[in-house]
Amino acid sequence: EWTALVFSPCLNNYVGSVTKWKQGRRQASGRTRHLGGNQVHYLRLNIPTSAEVLRGFGTKKSDEEVTCFRDIKPGAPHHYLVVPTKHVGDCKSLNKQHVPLVEKMVETGKKILQKNNVLDLSDVRFGFHWPPFCSVSHLHLHVLAPASQMGLMSSLFYRLNSYWFVTADQLIQHLNSKGEAN
C-alpha cells in the first residue's frame, strides 16, 4: 500500500496524505511527482526500511510504529513531526486504545530532542491540532523546542489552551476519560 504525502510550495508545508495507492501501481518509493501545483512524494509505509524511504524528508527516527522528521516550515529552532507509520485519523477519531500510540509518539519526540542536545524538556511543546483546525487527516504530533523561542505566528498556531491545539497530555487525559466507546 502506498501513501502520497503532499507538500505545497505555496504553503511550504506538509499538507496531507491525499490517497492510498495499490502496490501494483507504477509509483516508486521516494519518487516525487506534481499534482495541482503540489509536490507529491510517494512513500511505501508499513515496511521496515521506511527510514531509507523518508531520508529525503530529514528523517530523524523511524521504527515499525512511528516515524519522526523535521517540519519543513519550523515554528521553533527544533520542530519535528512524529507520525504513525500506519494510517490513523485525526485526534477526534482516537479512543482509549490509542493512548499507548500517543505515548509512544511523545517518547519518540523526547528521544529525538535529546539526540539533538535539547535537554531542557520544561521548555518544549508536544501537541496536536484539533479538528477542524488541522490541514492533515493523518495523526501527527508537533514537537517544538525551545517553546520560548517560537515566533509570533508559531505562538498562535501552537497556543496552549486554545480551541485549535491540544497538548499530548491533554489528549491522553481526554482519551482516558472517553473510555472504549468510539
Please identify every residue annotated as catalytic: 140
Residue found under cell 501513501: 3
> In the numeric block, which cell numbers belong to residue 42?
510517494
CB 88 within 8 A of CB 173: no
Sheet with 66-70: list strands edge to edge: 59-62, 66-70, 78-84, 141-145, 125-129, 165-167
